[in-house]
Structure 1
Amino acid sequence: MGRPERMPAMSAATAHARRPVVVVTGALAPYTHVLYERLAERLDRPLHVLSCTPRETARQWVVEAPLLFRHAVLPGLRWHRDAVRNLYVNPAVVPRLAALDPAVIVLNDFSPTMLMAAGYARLRRIPYLIRTDGVPETDPGQRSVPHRWLRRAIVSGARGGIGPSAGSARLLALYGITPERFATSPLFPAWSPAGPPPPDSERPYDVLFCGILNEEVKGARFFTEVVLGCAARGRRLSVRVAGDGPLRAEMEARFAEAGIAARFDGYLTQAALPAVYASARLFLFPSRGDVWGIVVHEALQSGTPVLASPHSGIARDLVAAQGCGAVRDLDTQAWIDATLTLLDDASRRAALREAASRALAAYTPEAAVQGYLDGLRPVLAAGT
């Protein structure tokens, strides 16, 4: 009996092509779920997503089970410091990466878990990219030595960077990612309006606030002061507040005392959001430090003009840069003036809607996926 036939040896290029892309992130969000599904559809290899936590404490969204990518939550330590700051320590990321043997890793932002993953990648000579929403204005690395060290340690070994804006490119450039190694992958809402935005005559509320009801990040108390200031000038606005948080009881009491009609929805599902954004004539976003601010994008795509503070990535890089909303420093009187002026100027609101419609054409899932592919392609090609 002859020897059994041997299978031909797999070429190095073929073996590399079968190794997956692995994304390490804090937690899945509705928009990243859409992004990863579409990215998995475009990749020529499996896509695995490893999350540090099932869900951030301040987030109430529900994310569907993935269809095209594979998702796992890493065990470990999770410290949710406040509405936007979370610290993750997940040593399990190392054996998980070892089991997956990725061709390339994408690290989402900065944490001890990302440092462990970067260290493993460098030890095993696996290329990795660093992705961040951050901008220099909100980067703790500009003020804190430990944060700065963490960022330098992670970025120093990265082959390139991915981010949603010019601000993200500026931030990564501070830590060594040159512009030619940066790929833009814009943020986008997880949902799109079912039809054209309704006219103002079908919008029962003057102003809308959407987000966590705190002051240190979202400016909910500042929003309250603006509404009360409008009332002091003889204009009691109809108000809608979507979201929840520590200031809800205070806001409800102050509006009731002033005789202001205010609807508080609490946390809402993604399915409920289109109707909420389309119910107001003006969206107020008095952020004190949002890295981006996807709620502004959701308002704009709903045909709702925006008045925003300059303290978010979207206010600087979209609203102000594209002239599709009003941006004012966090001065109460200036916001009262701007709110009343915009509510009284229908032609101005119409012009802002048109500008937003043009600007948002560049912020799509397709553009976001293309940014990832632009970042991944040279790294994957170098490994074949």
Structure 2
Amino acid sequence: MDIKDGKIKIAYLSQVPAPYRERMHELIHQDHQFSYDVIYCAKLEPNRKWELEYGNYKMHFLTDVAKTFRHNNTNVWALLKKLNPNVLIITAFKPTMLYGVIWCLLNGRKIIVYNDGTFNSEKSISMIQKQIRKFVYWVASSFMAPSKGTNDLYNSYGVGNDKIFRSCLCVDNSVFDNLPVRDREFTIMFSGQIIERKLPLFFANIAIELSKKIPGFKALIIGDGEQREEMIERLKQNNVDFEFTGFLDQKILPKYYSRAKLFLFTTKHDEWGIVANEACASGTPVITSVDAGAANDLIIHNINGYILPINVNIWVEHILKLLGNDNLYNEFSINALAMVAAYNHQQAAGGLVDAVNYALAEKNKSTQSNTITA
């Protein structure tokens, strides 16, 4: 296998850049044992408004703005031929990724799968999608998993734990403030796309009930989406005090999480939910449902938040319980900070290194993690 200048050549094939992955890419790029290239299907997808400051690493864009989420870029083949990586990491099962898998099989290159789906989130995918995954998992040498749910997903396809390496989803925890609860002007907070999947109207209904029970209640809403007007109108009709910021740039966003006492991560489906990291990094307890990938992983029931069924009365009951007990709230806040500390870019990069070393090992045995420092 061709190792350029003594370096292992890695290509990381992903859909679009994400702010929570830039630092990890930089860390791998800085590791002198690797030649590292990140290939993106596009700079932006239709529903994203991220204005990124790209990290310092080698990146390639197959197109500027994707018209759909399908990502069918045949030009990836020529780029892979040019880069000629020893290892290809794929992060989804779009046609572009599958072209990369075929290229690896024809050229004797190693394949690593990094899927951020979970056992629960992929229960309802089609039989064709399951068969595609089954084939790719069969030919892959190792796997990266951001969560316990992804680990369970791999296991369900017969992948052994020895081939799975944890590479967490994370933010720069150091840029988030942690204000005392007395200085937090908002009672609850929503942050994300204001679309049906994120249950913004469920959040609004909780806010309506809490406003009747908590003196000085005020909600903070960050984001944008097709249900924005309906959400805002419902709050106005019920005389709920709230502040709506709209979409916020990643530079500004960290300052907002510590302005709320609680973060309500309402969702019908999220493979992970990086907003949970952002809240925890601000010492803000999180309430969510089992449909969030971070549930039972970063967010633990009765430890740093609650994992509850989608029921307004149950959420209101737990919120009143938590806000009515200063000692319990402080315990949850401290636990949130402590638990999110393990979710960092060094861990994410170390998991990638372990997966690569395993894939390239002569007898396919796990090797010790390489230490990567910021």
User: TM-score, structure 1 length as denominator?
Assistant: 0.89
Q: Would you say 1:168 and 2:150 are equivalent positions?
A: yes
User: Residue 46 of structure 1: which of 35, 44, 57 is its match?
Assistant: 35
User: Residue 305 of structure 2: which of 310, 325, 349 is its match?
Assistant: 325
Give the superposition deviation at 1:65.
3.1
2:368 match: none
Question: Within 1, Cα distance between the matches of 2:64 and 2:185?
Answer: 46
2:223 match: 243
Output the amino acid matched with 2:195.
N
Paired residues of 2:189 and 2:264 also in contact (CA < 8 A) = yes
Output the amino acid matched with 1:98.
K
User: Residue 334 of structure 2: which of 341, 349, 354 is its match?
Assistant: 354
- Of stretches 321-330 and 161-170 in structure 1, the one that deviates more from structure 2 is 321-330
Paired residues of 2:45 and 2:66 also in contact (CA < 8 A) = no
Output the amino acid matched with 2:266.
P
Q: Would you say 1:202 and 2:183 are equivalent positions?
A: yes
Question: Within 1, Cα distance between the matches of 2:362 and 2:85?
Answer: 14
Paired residues of 2:176 and 2:255 also in contact (CA < 8 A) = no
1:27 match: 16
> What SS does the aligned partner of 2:296 have?
helix
1:314 match: 294
Output the amino acid matched with 1:198.
L
Output the amino acid matched with 1:245.
G
Paired residues of 1:161 and 1:375 also in contact (CA < 8 A) = yes
Give the superposition deviation at 1:235.
5.5
- Structure 1, residues 144-196: CA drift from partner, whole Å, max 9, x if none? 1121122123222100100112211111222342110000011111453365x
1:5 match: none
- Structure 1, residues 106-152: CA drift from partner, whole Å, max 9, x if none? 11122111111101101111011000111010015x44112112212
Question: Within 1, Cα distance between the matches of 2:76 and 2:19?
Answer: 23
Output the amino acid matched with 1:33.
E
Question: Within 2, Cα distance between the matches of 1:25 and 1:249?
Answer: 33
- Structure 1, residues 185-218: CA drift from partner, whole Å, max 9, x if none? 11111453365x1111211111100000012x21
1:156 match: 138
Question: Within 2, Cα distance between the matches of 1:288 and 1:66?
Answer: 32
For structure 1, the residue ranges without an aligned partner over 5 or more in a row are: 1-11, 81-85
Output the amino acid matched with 1:145.
M
2:349 match: 369
Q: How many equivalent residue pairs?
A: 363
Question: Within 2, Cα distance between the matches of 1:64 and 1:382?
Answer: 39
Calculate percent identity across the aligned residue pairs.
26
- Of stretches 116-125 and 36-45 in structure 1, the one that deviates more from structure 2 is 36-45
Q: Would you say 1:106 and 2:85 are equivalent positions?
A: no
> What SS does the aligned partner of 2:20 have?
helix
Change (3 A) 1:13 1:249: closer
Change (3 A) 1:236 1:56: farther
Paired residues of 2:101 and 2:111 also in contact (CA < 8 A) = yes
2:78 match: 95
Question: Within 2, Cα distance between the matches of 1:57 and 1:43?
Answer: 36
Paired residues of 1:75 and 1:92 also in contact (CA < 8 A) = no
Q: Would you say 1:61 and 2:50 are equivalent positions?
A: yes
Give the superposition deviation at 1:43.
4.6
Question: Within 1, Cα distance between the matches of 2:35 and 2:132?
Answer: 29
Question: Within 2, Cα distance between the matches of 1:357 and 1:159?
Answer: 35
Question: Within 2, Cα distance between the matches of 1:346 and 1:205?
Answer: 16
Give the superposition deviation at 1:316.
2.2
Question: Within 2, Cα distance between the matches of 1:99 and 1:289?
Answer: 38
- Structure 1, residues 256-308: CA drift from partner, whole Å, max 9, x if none? 12111111111111111121101101111111110001101100110111111
Question: Within 2, Cα distance between the matches of 1:159 and 1:55?
Answer: 30
Q: Would you say 1:72 and 2:48 are equivalent positions?
A: no
Give the superposition deviation at 1:77.
9.5
Paired residues of 1:35 and 1:368 also in contact (CA < 8 A) = yes
For structure 2, the residue ranges without an aligned partner over 5 or more in a row are: 364-374
Output the amino acid matched with 2:256.
V
Paired residues of 1:214 and 1:221 also in contact (CA < 8 A) = no
Change (3 A) 1:174 1:146: same
Question: Within 2, Cα distance between the matches of 1:180 and 1:16?
Answer: 30
Question: Within 2, Cα distance between the matches of 1:120 and 1:13?
Answer: 15
More helix by share: 1
Question: Within 2, Cα distance between the matches of 1:207 and 1:34?
Answer: 30
Output the amino acid matched with 2:189.
L
Paired residues of 1:111 and 1:150 also in contact (CA < 8 A) = no
Question: Within 1, Cα distance between the matches of 2:284 and 2:64?
Answer: 41
Question: Within 2, Cα distance between the matches of 1:289 and 1:144?
Answer: 17
Larger Rg: 1
Question: Within 1, Cα distance between the matches of 2:11 and 2:23?
Answer: 16
- Structure 1, residues 201-257: CA drift from partner, whole Å, max 9, x if none? 211111100000012x21111101111122355766201100001111111111112
